[in-house]
Structure 1
Amino acid sequence: MRLRPFAALSAVALSAILLAGCSGSGGGDATPSASASGDPSACIVDAPSGSDSEAVTVDGSAPDFTVSVPDGLAFSEVQRTVLSEGDGEVLGAGSLVSASYQVLDGATGEVLLDSADTSATDDGLVPLLIDASQPSMGAVAADCNPLGSTVVLTVPGSAIGDETNNYVIVAHTDADLPRTATGTPQEPQAGLPTVTLAEDGTPTITIPDTAAPTDLQIEVLKQGDGAEVADGDQVTLQYAGVSWDTKEEFDSSWSRGAPSAFTTTGVYEGFGDALVGQKVGSQVLVVMPPSMGDLSGSLKDQTLTFVIDILGTQHGVAAASGQ
């Protein structure tokens, strides 16, 4: 499936940050937090604290904090400072938490992105997935620090292919989020694939020995009561996909051992249709005809079946601003 990054400057920019961290451009081998255990090389970016990140001040409490960016920051390297250290587990690859963050212009201090504006919930928080293959600025800041920490990240534009601007990111992580659908089980529909769940929530999809439906089928297996997914949202989820034609699994976040995050417009048409209008906590079964699935790849002309656990959603920037 085709991922699109969210809450990020660009896929290229964040890949550059990742490469800079791996090449040691941070200029140090210390973990960003004294109590953050683990190998720094496993972090998305192994960035030291420094004069830039230490000069940024934050007033108030997340998600309603005010960030002050002083004049004259050097932005010679990526730096990260822990303003307050949480007492939760150290976050790493695959961690899924609620969080708040701001991305600011390093020269003017203007807030370029505020997660409170894109939050789908009354508390102003957003789901944050630590995923090195698709890292958001918030994830880069929060990674390798204990849950509950507030962190400042300063990023020179030159590190991400931007020779004009520099950036400041402040992120606060709040609480762990469920990694499976928590909604109320619903009565299954006759004639559609059946789903059984392992103890950890991993689904097994059984395709019936009948002809595949010719139009899109969407069934709610568990009804959640969280925020509603809007068109253009980034949705954090677990999923498994099976071909109706071969009855074989072709893709699964469960097999990779961590949730995934997709925009509703960055996936197969039928997959996106199955997300919009659903509530966080729901588990959804979708059967999509070939015209709504893999139109040119290895699954071309096959009917695809997915089971999707909706774990969190965050509105798109354009939707949040009314554009």
Structure 2
Amino acid sequence: MSVRKIASIAVFGVLLVSISACSTPGANSALCDATGNADLVTAAGEFGANPDVTFPTPLVSPDLGVTESITGDGKPVRAGGVVGGTLFIYDAETGDPIVAADQAVLLPTENYAFPFTKVLQCGSVGSRVIATGTADELFGDRASQFQIEPEQSLVLVADILHAFLGRADGADQVARAGMPAIVTAPSGQPGFTFPDSAAPTELTVDLLKKGSGSTTSAGDQVIVNFSSINWKGEQLKDTTWETAPAAVVLDENAQGASLPPEVITSLVGQTVGSQLLIAVPGDQTVVYVIDVLGIAE
């Protein structure tokens, strides 16, 4: 199976999120077993490519249905994890395509997740999952962001290409004195408490959690969650925790990077599962907390 790099793409102004089905620890077994009308859908064709999807129309799907048309035998999706995969959405009444993401996109299962994404935690790398239901059931009160009526029945097909962490899970480390104290919410999102001392005058990199996963190298595409804030600021400058994780190429000259070159360079040689605290000096010192979730290998 060939593996593609992640492309964070927006459809109708929203980062895509997806679904999946099987049986792994932490998954909701009721969701994993909710076949519904999903078994009336077939999705043939090469894994990771545009599927040949057929189903009887109109396909009325008042309840959530999930089935696995290809059983994955790779790394399971962890509870709260992030999937890299393809996603296709169809009008269940007409069979017409609504969304076609045939390049790998990041699909979080918890933070900023749509209701149907919880079943991604049932799947594994290599799974092709089919889900059916109404837009309201699948997307909740954000169905309108996809320009879809809440009562509209949909068919979704997702191929799971990658399985990443949802948050840093490494062993706790001690940051140096004079740096902000970081406390994470249950979701994993960090909060900042600043000391009375002045901001660092040079680039400062501290390890808050030491992961046990693979080590990043220059040129890798790394999946991260991050938050940034001005030194002693009261509001975040930027965060992925309220949208979707970022795919960052570890090349300080990369075009369109979501992180500054000093931060990108600091991510080289880190292990998956780690959390870093980085202060970047300038006219206004900016502090970053970054969770290394995985490498798109």
TM-score after normalising by structure 1? 0.48
Which residue in the other structure is 1:162 paired with?
A: none
Please give the alpha-carbon distance, in whole angstroms, between the structure 2 residues aligned to 1:139 and 1:237: 14
Residue pairs, 1:44-63, within 5 angstroms: 54=44, 56=45
The letter of the residue matching 2:277 is L
Q: Which runs of 5+ in 2 are unaligned?
A: 13-35, 55-67, 87-98, 108-113, 130-157, 252-256
Could you tell me which runs of 5 or more consecutive residues in structure 1 were left unpaired when the two chains were aligned: 20-32, 37-47, 68-77, 102-131, 152-170, 291-300, 316-323
Aligned: 1:281 with 2:247:
no
Aligned to 1:268: 260
Given the alignment of the two structures, is residue 35 of structure 1 paired with residue 13 of structure 2, yes or no? no
Answer whether contact 1:245 1:302 (CA < 8 A) is retained. no
Please name the residue that 1:305 is paired with: 287
Q: In 2 relative to 1, CA 279–302 (structure 1 residues): closer, same or farther, beyond 3 Å?
A: same
Identity of aligned residues (%): 30
Aligned partner letter, 2:289: V
Could you tell me which amino acid in structure 2 is paired with residue 311 of structure 1?
L
- The reply on whether 1:150 has 2:128 as its aligned counterpart is yes
| SS of corresponding position for 2:248 | strand
Which residue of structure 2 aligns with residue 113 of structure 1? none
Deviation at 1:262, TM superposition (A): 2.1
- Alignment counterpart, residue 189 of structure 1, candidates 176, 179, 185: 176
Q: Give the strand-richer structure, 1 or 2.
A: 2
Q: Does 1:246 align with 2:233?
A: yes
Offset, 1:180: 1.1
Q: Do the aligned partners of 2:223 and 2:294 also contact (CA within 8 Å) in 1?
A: yes
Aligned residue for 1:212?
199
Q: CA deviation at 1:194?
A: 1.2
Say how many residue pairs are matched: 194
> Does the residue aligned with 1:190 lie in a helix, a strand or coil?
coil
Following superposition, the deviation at residue 310 of structure 1 comes to 0.7
Residue 280 of structure 1 deviates from its aligned partner by 0.3
Quote how far apart the aligned CAs of 1:219 are: 0.3
Aligned match of 2:82: 96
SS state at 1:241 partner: strand
Which residue of structure 2 lines up, in the alignment, with residue 122 of structure 1?
none
Question: Measured at CA, do residues 225 and 242 of structure 1 come closer, stay the same or move farther in structure 2, by a change above 3 Å?
Answer: same
Q: Say if 1:140 and 1:219 are closer, same or farther in 2 by CA, change over 3 A.
A: closer
**1:84 is the counterpart of 2:84:** no
Cα 1:230–1:244 change in 2 (3 A) is same
Q: Could you tell me how far 1:174 is from its partner in structure 2?
A: 6.9
Taking only aligned residues, the RMSD between alpha carbons, in angstroms, comes to: 4.3
Contact 1:7 1:136 in 2 (8 A): no
Cα distance in 1 between the residues matched to 2:232 and 2:209: 26
TM-score by length of 2: 0.52
Q: Which segment is superposed worse, 305-314 or 257-266?
A: 257-266
Match of 2:25 in 1: none
What SS does structure 1 have at the residue aligned with 2:199?
Answer: coil
Q: CA–CA distance in 2 between the matches of 1:302 and 1:236?
A: 26
Q: CA deviation at 1:178?
A: 2.7
SS of residue paired to 1:261:
strand
How far apart are the structure 1 equivalents of 2:250 and 2:106?
23
Q: Secondary structure at the match of 2:104?
A: helix
